[in-house]
Structure 1
Amino acid sequence: MKKLTPVFLFSVIIAALFIIWGVIPESTLGNAALTPVTSAIHQFIIEKFGWYYLLAATLFLGFTLFLIFSRYGNIKLGKTEDEPQYSYISWFAMLFSAGMGIGLVFWGASEPINHFHTPPSGDGNTAEAARAAMRYSFFHWGLHPWAIYSVLALALAYFQFRKGYPFVISNILRPLLGKRVDGGLGTLVNVISVFATVFGVATSLGLGAIQITGGMAYLSPAIDNNFTTQLIVIIIVTVLFMLSAQTGLNKGIKYLSNINILLAILLMLFLLFAGPTNFIMDLFVTTIGSYIQYLPSMSFRLSPFDNNTWVQDWTIFYWAWWIAWAPFVGTFIARISRGRTIREFLIGVLAVPTIFGGLWFSVFGGSAIHLDFFKNIPVMDVINERGSEVALFYVLEQFPLGTVMSIIAICLIATFFITSADSATFVLGMQTTNGDLNPSNSVKFIWGMIQTLTAVILLWTGGLDALQTAAIIAALPFSIVLVLTVFSLIKSFREELKKADVHPKKI
């Protein structure tokens, strides 16, 4: 192992202390145990800073749209002669698999049906509730999350490939903070980034374990959907993603990402044509229109005149989750995006996953709502009884070859699990080795174990609620880094175009 950086040492020590804290029984620590403390912090953040998350996410989207249509869009993420390393297909596959694969499979059917029965306003189980359910599902998984990822990914790619700065997050603030990023302030920024990554990814790994065990238990009553089964699944998948992580970016992650996309498309096309095809496509087209129409109002929607916690439970959680994921996904997307212009990069990262995600929710969420609304098949009752993780399998069961498709879905979740964890070990390795684009296997092994143990601790102490709580807490400090990143990029872009005006050249 190369010389250990302060970021690596501080991050590993703090992570180890967190894991030890989570292992100590609550009876020993009382109110100082992990669950009461994190729950109190979570409640404070939600009540006091929910508005901030909403404004920050909308700022990031506005900024990325501005760049697409500005002169800055012509700037290349790299030197003038640099060409993209990956084809469009491999590029889209890798950024999508890293970006939100497990989450889409977990929430694809369950989120729209939840919104259908408990909409953000008005009565549930109505045609208007169904329209709102799809609109908000598009909203939560559409342009906003990918804009959050894009801000960080763009900054990292620009400052590393064009300016030659080390591939660490603190360096993207150099135009604002100057040489202070080389000292303690820079170390603090990088440690915050590491923990946002660890908790954001742990949330997804926990979701993956919950859904794999939920699917297995649904298909085979002999299997119990409990923590022990989830632990066994996590151990098996950990071994697999650790093996994948040792092969590097151009082998394991690339090939698994392509497999992910093939399985996801296969599953989606099956349900599209086995299910109510015309209804699904009508729903997709209609929801795109209403999503665009209501995007401004949804982006600023809170509920100050009532006690409705819907926005806190859904929108604010999602915005915090995406912010927590940004260091991981942003670093990974930046690593694979050298040679593209800012305009090409942003259009690809914003548009393609948003459209695919919208189609995904139309197929799976639309099928669930169709079964409930038109066929009186109680999808929501099954969720209330057995958990959100079984919604996908229950919906698939209502169509031909449902069991076969459920097995494919479990395989898809597992490959997404492996890819996300594999990518995260790679990213954490870069973040903690001063931007090494090919971190050592020993560093990746350590971060792989920390990710796994963090996910296990969160599942053990509180399941899905604990996972969501951790994501929201980790996101708050890192959101400040993202806001500063916007101003840092603007300052650097202006300086670059001023030089280009004085010494005209292709940028």
Structure 2
Amino acid sequence: MSAASPLTPAPASVRLNPVVFAGSTALILVLTLILIAFPEAAGLWLGRAQAWLSRSFGWYYMLVIGAYLFFVLYIAASRYGDLRLGDDHERPEFSYGAWAGMLFSSGIGISLLYFAASEPLDHFYNPPEGEPGSAFAARQALQLTFLHWGVHGWAIYALVGLAVGYFAYRHKQPLALRSALLPLVGERAMRGWAGNAVDCFGIFVTLLGLVTNLGIGSLQVSSGLEYLFGLPHSRAALLAVILAMSAVATVAAVSGVEKGIRRLSNLNILLFSGLLLFVLFAGQTLHLLNGLVQNIGDYLNGLVLKTFDLYVYTGAGTRSEAWMGLWTLFYWAWWISWAPFVGMFIARISRGRTVRELVCGVLLIPLGFTLVWLSVFGNSALELVTVHAAADLGKAALEQPAMSIYLLLEHYPWSKLVIGVSICVGFVLFLTPADSGSVMLANLSRQGGELDEDAPHWLRIFWSALITLVTIGLLFAGNFTAMQTVVVLAGLPFSVVLVLYMVALLRAMRLDVETRAIVRAAPVPVPGPH
């Protein structure tokens, strides 16, 4: 497991991995055909499976999510924190500013726009405990929203990015999910059946997440066009939006990480920040700032409690148990399902960074903005509903979440212009995970090539096209919700892979630190007389 020597032979050219490519493609196509052919039966079965999983494995999800967070914090703070994703003398490929921008965009998708107003309002009307619509419910709503979008999810991304990047750049293994299992299964199994199985399932889980991303994104953008221009709420209009979004995402994916994705990340930050500042200063600024400080305090104060809170003492079969399955457990599985491609993308852009840099960057850079965004939009929505009696906003949050952000913005100055900007924000928010996801899917289904060499263009186009076709089929079959349920179910087995990543990382890092200490302690040879 040592670094490659200068005499290491050049890697083979990039080529398709037929086992991973065929296996993952078959999995997703079979699942899609079943969901389209038997929408009612599949939806019923998946609903029962999700309810069973929530009842039977809720305790496991809460424990393992807490373990991921504790592990990455421990690794960053320990003696392993100064190990690099690369050789000890290696320096980062991207500047700090470019790296931070791509970190920000990699895990923040259009879902943040979709849930910004709708999730706090949903928790306000349907809290897990307490009186609905009360002041306690309002305060709890932001605390729970922070929990779902907070540090736990980013810790999962940091774990996968760290595991894949560490073994790829420090131990010269392929930039793939399989590489992080090297200390546990050995070189032969890692390059054979075990590695193929992990990469195949990783592609399957990732594609599920990207399909839901495109589905949510198309609904969000089409709802905005419907509100702003009176675009008819029809399948033809939705199809046009999906095709337009997919075409632009494909072009960005083909242009690669260095050009398309980095430029989209910069545009993403500008548009996102501009919309946030507008809502902050055009609304009740002092109230929003006060709310932000209190929300952060509530979140930090309840971080340990909510990490392990299963609402055991509210009784079985209560609204708390149902809420837990619909929200917290769904979010934990959702983060896990996005971890393969987001983690691989983080690894791809973090070569030369230290372990401590990666963990702190992933946990803090996107998290800070996410919490401010949720607080500003969530408190603005709660104020409109509770003080100004914006009944249409509350109703939309429960029945048509994609429309809630636009109904919130209509209460602000220059609403038409601002809503138009928010549609553009949604479009760009969709693009950044979509194009980086297509690149990572293509990279997982190929073999050979340099560590930083991305897959050929045709393979990126294939995965982008497959995501588009699956999304269209599910949306038009009326069974898109079933795909979201599959995401939750698929998160369970992949969570076990992440546990194995922790064991493998700890074993490899301990050996590397010991080896480095021996090398540094070795006496420097003194040249003898000539």
Q: How high is the TM-score relative to the length of structure 2?
A: 0.90
1:490 partner letter: L
Counterpart code for 1:491: R
Write out per-residue CA displacement over residues 307-357 of structure 1, whole angstroms, 9 at most, x where no aligned residue: 221111111000000000000100001100111111111111001211111
Distance 2:38 2:166 in 1: 46
1:310 to 323, 329, 334: 323
In structure 2, what is the equivalent of residue 468 of structure 1? 484
Deviations 1:131-182 (A, max 9, x none): 1111111111110000011100001110011110111111101111113222
User: Is 1:123 the counterpart of 2:125 in the alignment?
Assistant: no
Label 1:464 to 1:95 Cα distance change in 2 as closer, same or farther (>3 A): farther
CA distance in 2, matches of 1:362, 1:47: 31
CA positional deviation for 1:17: 2.5
Q: CA deviation at 1:467?
A: 4.0
Gaps in structure 1 of 5+ consecutive residues: none
Aligned counterpart, 1:339: 352
Structural RMSD (CA): 1.9
Equivalent residue for 2:496, pick from 459, 470, 480: 480
* Aligned residue among 182, 199, 202 for 1:190: 199
Tell me whether 132-141 or 77-86 shows the greater mean CA deviation: 77-86
Paired residue for 1:266, among 248, 269, 274? 274
Structure 1 residue ranges (4+ consecutive) displaced by more than 6 angstroms after TM superposition:
none
- Residues 256-288 of structure 1: per-residue CA shift (max 9 Å, x gap): 111111100010011010011111111111111
1:403 equivalenced with 2:416 (yes/no): yes
Secondary structure at the counterpart of residue 503 of structure 1: helix
Task: Report deviation, 1:486.
Answer: 0.7
Task: Give the counterpart of 1:355 among 352, 359, 368.
Answer: 368
Segment drifting more, 75-84 vs 144-153? 75-84
Residues 267 and 409 in structure 1, CA contact (< 8 A), matched pair in contact too: yes
Deviation, structure 1 residue 121: 1.0
Structure 2 residue aligned with 1:97: 105
1:56 aligns with 2:72: no
User: For the residues of structure 1 that align with 2:480 and 2:223, how far apart are their CA atoms?
Assistant: 13
Q: Which residue pairs with 1:13 in the alignment? A: 26
* Equivalent pair of 2:151/2:367 in contact (CA under 8 Å): yes
Instruction: Give the conservation status (yes or no) of the 8 Å contact 1:317–1:468.
Output: no
Name the counterpart of 2:468: 452
Q: Distance in 2 between matches of 1:501 and 1:169?
A: 29
1:406-429 CA-partner distances (Å, limit 9, x unpaired): 111111111122222111110001
Q: Distance in 2 between matches of 1:75 and 1:396?
A: 46
Q: Does 1:71 align with 2:83?
A: no
Compare 454-463 and 150-159 and name the one that shifted more.
Answer: 454-463
Partner Cα separation in structure 2 for residue 86 and residue 114 of structure 1: 40
Question: Which of 232, 237, 257 lines up with 2:240 in the alignment?
Answer: 232
- Shift of the 463–273 alpha-carbon distance from structure 1 to 2, 3 Å rule, reads farther
CA separation in 1, counterparts of 2:113 and 2:15? 38
Q: Is the 8 A contact 2:80 2:355 kept in 1?
A: yes
> Which residue type is aligned with residue 35 of structure 1?
G
Identity %: 36
Worse-superposed segment, 51-60 or 352-361 = 51-60
Q: CA deviation at 1:386?
A: 5.2
Classify 1:270/1:133 alpha carbon distance in 2 versus 1 (closer, same or farther; 3 Å).
same
Look up the SS of the partner of 1:278 in the other structure.
helix
- CA 1:175–1:225 in structure 2 vs 1: closer, same or farther (change >3 Å)? same
Kindly report which structure 2 residues correspond to 1:107-506, keeping only aligned pairs within 5 A, or say none: 107-178=115-186, 179-221=188-230, 223-304=231-312, 305-306=315-316, 307=318, 308=320, 309-378=322-391, 380-383=393-396, 387-434=400-447, 437-462=453-478, 465-504=481-520
Larger C-alpha radius of gyration, 1 or 2?
2
SS in 1 for 2:353: coil
CA contact (8 A) 2:32 2:470 kept: yes
Any conservation in 1 of the 2:35–2:482 contact (CA below 8 Å)?
no
Name the residue aligned to 2:526. none
Instruction: State the alpha-carbon separation in 1 of the partners of residues 460 and 274 from structure 2.
Output: 32
Could you tell me how far apart the structure 2 residues matched to 1:497 and 1:462 are? 54
Instruction: Sort the Cα spacing of 1:126 and 1:36 in 2 relative to 1 into closer, same or farther, 3 A.
Output: closer
Q: Which blocks of at least 5 consecutive residues in structure 2 are unaligned?
A: 1-13, 522-530
Distance 2:137 2:44 in 1: 35
| Partner Cα separation in structure 2 for residue 385 and residue 158 of structure 1 | 43
The one-letter amino acid paired with 1:422 is: D
TM-score by length of 1: 0.94
The alignment status of 1:82 with 2:82, answered yes or no, reads: no
Partners in 2 of 1:162 and 1:105 — Cα distance? 37
CA distance in 2, matches of 1:401, 1:335: 41
* 2:6 equivalent in structure 1: none
Asked if 2 retains the 8 angstrom alpha-carbon contact of 1:371 and 1:379, the reply is no
CA deviations 1:99-130 (Å, max 9, x no partner) are 02211111111111111222221012222211
Q: In 1, are the aligned partners of 2:122 and 2:398 still within 8 Å (CA)?
A: no
Query: Using the alignment, how far apart are the partners of 1:230 and 1:463 within structure 2?
Result: 15
Q: 1:25 to 1:301 in 2, by over 3 A?
A: closer
Amino acid at match of 2:462: I
Farther off after superposition, 57-66 or 93-102: 93-102
Q: How many Å separate the matches in 2 of 1:89 and 1:463?
A: 41
Instruction: Say if 1:42 and 1:240 are closer, same or farther in 2 by CA, change over 3 A.
Output: same
- Provide the C-alpha distance between the structure 1 equivalents of 2:218 and 2:505, rounded to a whole number of angstroms: 38
